[in-house]
């Protein structure tokens, strides 16, 4: 059983996570103010403004980062270099492997790829810090 913590403002990440949960039965938990991670898991967030990590995600990371095994982020390709860059920033600052970057609420292919990436981490025994997950482009 996987745990996924997610942050969503406009509903894009929430729609992505609902589809993942429907297909896998994994536990998905929307980040709330002052929330801590209760299990090791993965983070999925969005990119806000002109390439920033959301404040709610930053607050969650402050205490939860040691429990996070990967980060994925949503964005809009209209922002060019800043597309889903929140994931890159979190990966760099916290040393959490970047798993996937997807546009808006993702496609079916994005959802299947996310599931495969998370499953592969378990099957190959990857631990946090492994560069094996860092193939998001």
What is the mean pLDDT of the segment spanning 31-42?
Answer: 87
Q: Where are the domains of the chain?
A: 3-133
What per-residue confidence (pLDDT) applies to 44?
A: 97
Q: Could you tell me which residue, 136 or 58, shows the higher pLDDT?
A: 58
CATH architecture, domain 3-133: 3-Layer(aba) Sandwich (3.40)
Among 91, 2, 78, 109, CA closest to 45: 91
Q: What is the reported pTM?
A: 0.85
**Runs of H (alpha helix) within 8-107:** 12-24, 55-64, 85-94
Task: Count CB atoms within 10 A of the CB of residue 19.
Answer: 18
Mean pLDDT value across the chain:
85
36 pLDDT exceeds 70? yes
In Å, what is the CA distance from 3 to each residue of 18, 24, 77, 79, 80? 13, 11, 27, 30, 30
What is the per-residue pLDDT across 92-134, written as a single tens digit (0 to 9) for each? 999 999 999 988 888 889 999 999 999 987 534 444 444 444 4
What per-residue confidence (pLDDT) applies to 46?
A: 92
């Amino acid at each position: 059983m996987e745990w996924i913590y997610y942050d969503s403002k406009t509903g894009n990440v929430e729609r992505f996570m609902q589809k993942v949960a429907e297909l896998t039965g994994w536990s998905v938990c929307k980040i709330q103010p002052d929330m801590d991670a209760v299990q090791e898991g993965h983070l999925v967030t969005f990119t806000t403004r002109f390439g920033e990590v959301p404040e709610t995600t930053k607050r969650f990371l402050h205490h939860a980062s040691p429990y996070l095994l990967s980060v994925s982020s949503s964005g809009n390709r209209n922002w060019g270099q800043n597309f889903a860059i929140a994931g890159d920033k979190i990966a760099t600052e916290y040393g959490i492997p970047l798993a996937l970057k997807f546009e808006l609420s993702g496609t079916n292919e994005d959802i299947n790829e996310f599931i495969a990436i998370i499953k592969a981490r378990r099957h190959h025994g990857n631990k946090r810090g492994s560069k094996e997950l860092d193939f998001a482009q």
